[in-house]
Amino acid sequence: MCWKCKKSIDAAIPVYRSSVCSCGTDLHSCLNCRHYSPGSHYDCHETVDELVKDKERANFCDWFSVKADFNGEKSESDKSHDAKKAFNSLFGD
């Protein structure tokens, strides 16, 4: 789903760095990624090495994964990922 216009993105079509929504918004951006988490290190749940300054623009992040929705609630896969990450952090991993 596009973070700006909320239009659905076909999951069967891969999102490349140059992909844009019909509204003209870059799709391969932090705001469209399921790992985007304001307040986390570089605003990302993954261990990214470089800060992406403009979260609305396309970037080269290898961790990018299209966010399913923007209803304000985490999906089950997001909750599962967070739980695994919290568990692993208990052991310094």
Convert the pLDDT of each residue in 26-44 to its tens digit. 999 999 999 999 988 999 9
The Cβ of residue 69 has, within 10 Å, a number of other Cβ atoms equal to 12
Q: Which of 14-18, 52-56, 58-62, 80-84 has the lowest mean pLDDT?
A: 80-84
CA distance 34 to 15: 13
pTM exceeding 0.75: no
The pLDDT confidence band at residue 72, using thresholds 50, 70 and 90, is: very low
CA distance 48 to 75: 22
DSSP label of 31: G
